[in-house]
Chains A and B, each alone.
Chain A
């Protein structure tokens, strides 16, 4: 079957750095997405990785290792507004998006 694993919840301190991991087992791979979702709101796109390596976008970076079926989202200089759920999703061989359950990130002052 297809599976995406992420931690259920993480806590970090304002101003710090946090890394949210995602491991996947899918039938084929056509890219990995990270989305941010604030409670009660729609998910918004953060990043896309299809090749191995690090993609940096301001305070957010996303890393992919296809051989390990592994990705992480790195958030730097955490702000209170970063408190949200972070969803990892993989496009399989049929270009269907398989979603993880999401990681709820709690930022403490």
Chain B
């Protein structure tokens, strides 16, 4: 158990809908990262937050947005969903972003868009 929690575990929805994925980082970690992993694909970095502020952006679509709240939990909002958005969405956390701070991953949310 990495200490990172994600809810829900599974989500099934229809095209055009909007969903929110939630992540709680490990105690003491200030950085939160969101990743997308489609079937048999590598990890695609979406976005990073550090202590409530956006720190870095990766291949995140305009239909997707995220935020980190004062209690450090984070939410990833996915809107106007398409079939291709079906994937595993991982949240990870680390103490900061620098040096040897490894990222600890949550169990993921499996999103299925029908």
What is A's interface to B at a CB cutoff of 8 Å? 30-31, 33, 40-45, 48, 50, 87, 91, 94-97, 99-102
Across the interface, do B2 and A31 meet the contact criterion of CB distance under 8 Å?
Answer: no
Q: 6 closest Cβ contacts across the A-B interface?
A: A42-B105, A101-B42, A45-B102, A95-B97, A95-B98, A99-B43
What is B's interface to A at a CB cutoff of 8 Å? 2, 33, 41-43, 45, 48, 56, 88, 90, 97-100, 102-108
**Shortest distance in angstroms between B17's beta carbon and chain A's nearest beta carbon?**
24
Bound-state CA distance A5–B97 (Å) is: 23
Does more than half of chain B's interface fall in helix, strand or loop, or is it mixed?
loop
**Shortest distance in angstroms between A85's beta carbon and chain B's nearest beta carbon?**
9
Q: A42-B2, A101-B42 are in contact. Are A50 and B103 (CB under 8 A)?
A: no
**Shortest distance in angstroms between A91's beta carbon and chain B's nearest beta carbon?**
8
Bound-state CA distance A45–B103 (Å) is: 8
Q: A33-B102, A50-B100 are in contact. Are A94 and B42 (CB under 8 A)?
A: no
